[in-house]
Structure 1
Amino acid sequence: MRKTLIATFLCACLSISAQNHSSVEEAISNYDYSKALQLIDSEKNATTKLTSQKALVLKGLNRYTEAIPLYTQLLQKDSKNVRLLTELAECYRLSGKYNEASNLYKQILEDNPENRYASLQYISLLCGMEQFKRAKEACQTYLKNDSSNISLKQLAQCHEALNENDSAMNCYNHILKNDSTDYIATARLASLYIKCEDYVNAIICTEKYKEIDSSQIVINRLNAQAYCLNKQYKEAINQYEKLVAQGDSSTLTCHYLGICYYADEKFYEAHDYLEAAIKNDPNNINLLYYLARACAKTSWKKEGIDYMNKAIRLTTPSDETYTNLYQGLADCYNLAQKPKEQIQALLEQYKYDKNNHQLLFTVGRIYQDALEDMSRAKKYLEMFMATRPEKQTKEEDPEGTISASLYNVAERRLDAIRKEQFFREGVPSKMIINNKEYKAVN
């Protein structure tokens, strides 16, 4: 009787567990990961299957750092399992641990060199890490077995990132031979033609695509831009007006349409579109220039002056910019042990940072210590001493001014120079004291 009861109880437990497992699988298949996780955590015994399911569920809930140790645990029992390795690599990638993900994809490809998914993911990861040379090499290896458009696009992306524009264009042309309907390849190819100032080919490739689909807005923008840059303004206006009719009021469209109208001497239309563009891109110097010119030729002459002045202010670097650049240059010359060039950089810095009198002290010190030019050292140290506040004593160190101790150092340096000059040159034949000239007594 007792044995019968135990057997019945075990059967009931197994039945409940089986139902629970079935519910977990159903929740996962319905992407109800929160429910699946609750069911898994309610199980007392963590089997390999449950651990695998929990890792999958945590990954689905974007809890990658919690999924990683579970996949690592599973791989200890099955280190060559491609699915587990791929899932772990994805968790590392999605949690920002790109090197770990990269190493796992390399491990997968060492054992399974023809694994298409792992190859594509590995190349994509290298591009994401901006390791384009490695990505290009991986693409070229992969293309030996698979010359699909996906891999060609990845190779083209690598060529673009490495400024290998001709190679990138060859890739996109090859893709379009295989599939002329690929608008992304067309857009990238047209953008490269525009970048290389080959506007005619940009027009040809976009017009060819428009024969397939005349409503693709990205292609239409590139087509109109190419006409504009090729100075075919009337055709560009025609294309841009079609975009506007499609509801395109983007900054780029308004920008180039305004320039086309300006070039076609339709200044009021130019003003309207350029003003619309400037609202979203207020510091665009090119926009400001053309808007100012359009204003000057219409009723908004005062606004034109304001826009042109703003363009000039933005074009001319600020004193702070020059100060930082020359300070950096002086540091570079200092580290390269080129004191003459360092002095020139410091003096250029002083032109834009007139309140930084400490620069004069630094120039004097370099002349004295590095170049042993006492005449120039004395000149700049005296210029520095002339900036000392009248009320500052040798002991004072008021906040916001150059430290009194630095003036004291400069004073000691000047005394040393004067003493050296006295012993080297003797008493001067004439001396000026209180604005009166005295002859030296022999």
Structure 2
Amino acid sequence: MHSLPETAGSVEVTVSADTLTQSSVSSVDGLRRAMEAYAYDRVIDWVGPEADDSLKLAFQVPALKAMNRYPEAIRVLQQVLDRDSVSVKAWVDWADCHRALGQPVQAARGYRKALELAPDNRYFRLQFIRSLLSAEDYEQARTACHDWLERDSVSATGYKYLGQAYEGLQDVMHAFLSYNLAYRRDSLDGQVVARIANIFNNNEQYADAVEVTERYRLTDTTHLDVNRQCAKAYCLKKDYAEAVQRYEQLRRQGDRSFPTFYYLGISHFGDNWFYGAYDNLKEAYAQHPNDVNVLYYLGKAAARTSWKQEAVGYLQEALDLTIPKDSTLVRLYEGLAEGYQYAGETDSWMEICKKLYQLTKHRKWLHSLARTYDWQKDYANALYYYRKYMEQVPPAQRLPLDEEGNLIPDATTLYQEVEKRVKKLQAEEFFRVGQPEGESPLQMRQMQMKE
């Protein structure tokens, strides 16, 4: 039973959720007492469909949100907005519900509407940009941040979100510049420091990452993301002893993330403590069993500990993941061949066809090559691949036969068409160069390719 002390003159009164009745909440004060007593179900029931919109916004919608009944709240809010499309509170609540449901696109739409109605409201602008970033609509987020900074050019938060938008657009230079401007305005924003350090680490500027994170740690040693980037920088600059200390601190903070286990394992390995490396890499492996780098270092660490028998297994797993199966390679090469074909890059397409034949031994690639060489008037190569194609056609498939083995009249097979083309090429070669005493140029070319 929940109760809330309420002052009536000098007498203290308590309101119990169990003693509330419909008649006791017939007034606004009654609804307020029900909300204060956490009697959300009763508030939802007592504010009926015919109730005034102000009561729905003040009581029913907050009660629905408190009970995580967001779809119902959205339906109520939509009805309110159908009657009053300029209700700022309705738009914000509508957006809040969509955000809670993990629907950032709709949430951004609601916050945009609220912002249009109240352009100076900081909360609406913040939530609008956050929703755009969550929806990965980075171009719109960038535009929204610039709009904000035109109104408030000293906002550290505005520059921070602008940096996130540029990161999403893969524009690292402008992202760094934006984070730098945010940092100059608020050097104690841990998120900004962590993102700057992350850019430094990705750019292999490990000393800079250490400097910016260590400066922040002078005032706050508990920020998780800053500590992760700091530890990672020490690891990547091969200061393994310091990296181990920083990652152990993260472990004491309760950090059981994959990067922490992985880089702590790498740091122990670099510091020649292979049992520590094995233990942490095994934890990383449990989270990401198909990570080739984890398997590689786990195998190397296992080989230097009592788990030597496991080492080969981990390294073999890494090899199996690294070397694609033939079926995967075939799909990739077929896609690449199609791309070259559409792009009109015939020579590159032919090279891929040769690789596909090596992988599949399927005669269709020989025929494709022969036809292309024929089209290019490279008759020596055309005849070479036509003949290779013909050699691979089984005798039973060379003639048009029905299921009983009888010849189908007026039908031809691809083999017969190729055979006819080969004879024509040979005849054209004969009339072009005459009957030579030795090998014809065409025959010499074929012999060279066979060799």
Fold match, TM over 0.5? yes
8 Å contact 1:378–1:414 — kept in the other structure? no
Q: Deviations over 1:12-59 (max 9, x none)?
A: xxx969727665555455554433332234x6x454446656566556
Cα distance in structure 2, aligned partners of 1:107 and 1:251: 40
Aligned residues: 405
8 Å contact 1:268–1:294 — kept in the other structure? yes
8 Å contact 2:261–2:281 — kept in the other structure? yes
* Residues 100 and 246 of structure 1, relative CA distance in 2, 3 Å threshold: closer
8 Å contact 2:108–2:129 — kept in the other structure? no
Q: Normalization by structure 2: what TM-score? A: 0.73
* Structure 2 equivalent of residue 40 of structure 1: 47
Amino acid at match of 1:185: V
C-alpha deviation, 1:111, in angstroms: 4.5
- Among 290, 295, 299, which residue is 1:288 paired with? 295
* Structure 2 equivalent of residue 224 of structure 1: 231
Indicate the SS of the match to 1:386: helix
Alignment of 1:26-425 (within 5 A): 26-28=33-35, 32-41=39-48, 45-49=50-54, 52=57, 67-68=73-74, 70-91=76-97, 102-103=108-109, 105-146=111-152, 147-172=154-179, 175=182, 181-244=188-251, 250-298=257-305, 300-354=307-361, 356-368=362-374, 370-392=375-397, 394-395=400-401, 408-419=413-424, 421-422=426-427, 425=430
Q: Deviations over 1:369-391 (max 9, x none)?
A: x4354543443343333333455
Cα distance in structure 1, aligned partners of 2:180 and 2:119: 28
Q: Deviations over 1:128-182 (max 9, x none)?
A: 2322233122212212334444333322212322344454445545555555554
8 Å contact 2:108–2:127 — kept in the other structure? no
C-alpha deviation, 1:73, in angstroms: 4.3
Indicate the SS of the match to 1:130: coil
8 Å contact 1:385–1:407 — kept in the other structure? no
Gaps of 5+ in 1: 1-14, 399-405, 431-442
* Residues 99 and 294 of structure 1, relative CA distance in 2, 3 Å threshold: closer
Q: Deviations over 1:321-368 (max 9, x none)?
A: 3322221121122222343332222112222223x3322233333344
8 Å contact 1:143–1:151 — kept in the other structure? yes
Aligned-residue CA RMSD (Å): 4.0
8 Å contact 2:258–2:287 — kept in the other structure? yes
8 Å contact 1:109–1:115 — kept in the other structure? yes
* Residues 166 and 85 of structure 1, relative CA distance in 2, 3 Å threshold: same
C-alpha deviation, 1:238, in angstroms: 3.3
Indicate the SS of the match to 2:392: coil
8 Å contact 2:88–2:117 — kept in the other structure? no
C-alpha deviation, 1:269, in angstroms: 4.2
* Residues 206 and 407 of structure 1, relative CA distance in 2, 3 Å threshold: farther
* Residues 381 and 74 of structure 1, relative CA distance in 2, 3 Å threshold: same
C-alpha deviation, 1:290, in angstroms: 3.0
C-alpha deviation, 1:114, in angstroms: 1.4
Q: Deviations over 1:385-414 (max 9, x none)?
A: 33334555734689xxxxxxx991232243
8 Å contact 1:271–1:294 — kept in the other structure? yes
* Residues 298 and 63 of structure 1, relative CA distance in 2, 3 Å threshold: closer
Q: Normalization by structure 1: what TM-score? A: 0.74
Cα distance in structure 2, aligned partners of 1:257 and 1:104: 44
8 Å contact 2:268–2:276 — kept in the other structure? yes
Cα distance in structure 1, aligned partners of 2:226 and 2:128: 30
Cα distance in structure 2, aligned partners of 1:63 and 1:247: 32
